[in-house]
Amino acid sequence: MALLPLIDDDVARALDDLPTHVNELGYDPWGFSPSYARVGYTLAKRFVHSYFRPDVDGIRNVPAGRVLLIANHSGQIPLDGVVIAVTCLLEAHPPRLVRPMVERWFPRVPFVNEVISRGGATLGAPINCRNLLNDEQAILVFPEGVKGSGKVWSQRYKLQGFGRGFMRLALQTNTPIVPIGVVGGEESLISLHNWKGMAKLLGMPYLPIPALLPVLGPLAFLPLPVKFFLRFGEPMTFEGRHDDDDAGIDAKVQKVTAAIDGLIADGRRARTSLF
């Protein structure tokens, strides 16, 4: 209750409009807590969304009901997911609570598992995603995984190999796919090298060496206030068997990859400066 006056009014209204189903303790079946989300999304709006000031186009393409939001990944820290989630909550009509699928590594970090689940994220297991889609939720997937978020500067805006899981789920659950191109994350925290040996010792998926490390020391790991550009493409629907052979699924995945490549190009053309 002490935090109530600090909650952003737009966040509170959007969350109140959501058709969430919580138990007597205030949680949904996947651990989401509307009361916690009011605080989390308020902080995300004020300190992440406002920091990157996203230029958004095509948000009208996010439909009501089940949908898979498929985006490119970058920036070493998954702040692109936070920006997409806040945008969908505050700018989509109706407001959409995005349920990001997170890598298995993140829930192992102390306290992170509870924080991300209370805010709407969940472990990126097929069963979780399928159940959420059957509940008419909006799922955010980065099919590049850590290969995308951990890209070094020489790989910027070059999509890494997409997994097939999201496409099999889309076919199995008859779910439309909205492709998203994110521009800005690559420049927010520029990594010149992935120190794989040390990452392995620390149990991390990668360890970036920022470009400004020699000059700024530990401060080099703070993202720069780069302006983000989000481009939401038109919904894509696919037909076929979800258990089709890999070649058949890959052909469909390639269409989504091409759409995201085009949206990234649109965002880069719209950008006149990094900041």
Q: Report if residue 90 sits inside a domain.
A: yes
pLDDT score recorded for residue 98 = 95
Q: Report if residue 5 sits inside a domain.
A: no
Q: Report if residue 25 sits inside a domain.
A: no
Q: Report if residue 95 sits inside a domain.
A: yes
pLDDT score recorded for residue 123 = 78
Q: Which domain covers residue 253, as residue numbers?
A: 54-270
For residues 66 and 133, the answer to whether their CB atoms sit within 8 Å is yes
pLDDT score recorded for residue 1 = 44
Task: Please enumerate in sequence order all residues whose Cβ is within 8 A of that of 77, keeping only pairs 6 or more positions apart, or say none.
Answer: 149, 189, 223
Domain of residue 123, CATH code: 3.40.1130
- Provide the 3-class DSSP secondary structure of residue 32: coil
Residue 8 CA to residue 232 CA, distance in Å, equals 25
Q: Report if residue 29 sits inside a domain.
A: no
Q: Alpha carbon of 96 to those of 19, 60, 69, 87, 144: distances in Å?
A: 10, 11, 11, 9, 23
Residue 177's DSSP bridge partners are 68, 236
pLDDT score recorded for residue 57 = 98
Task: Write the DSSP assignment of 250-274 as a string of letters.
Answer: HHHHHHHHHHHHHHHHHHHHH-SS-
Domain count, the chain: 1
Q: Report if residue 218 sits inside a domain.
A: yes
Q: Report if residue 161 sits inside a domain.
A: yes
Mean pLDDT, each 10-residue run in order, the chain (275 residues): 71 90 86 90 93 97 97 89 96 94 66 73 84 95 87 91 94 97 94 87 84 86 95 97 95 97 97 91
Q: Report if residue 38 sits inside a domain.
A: no
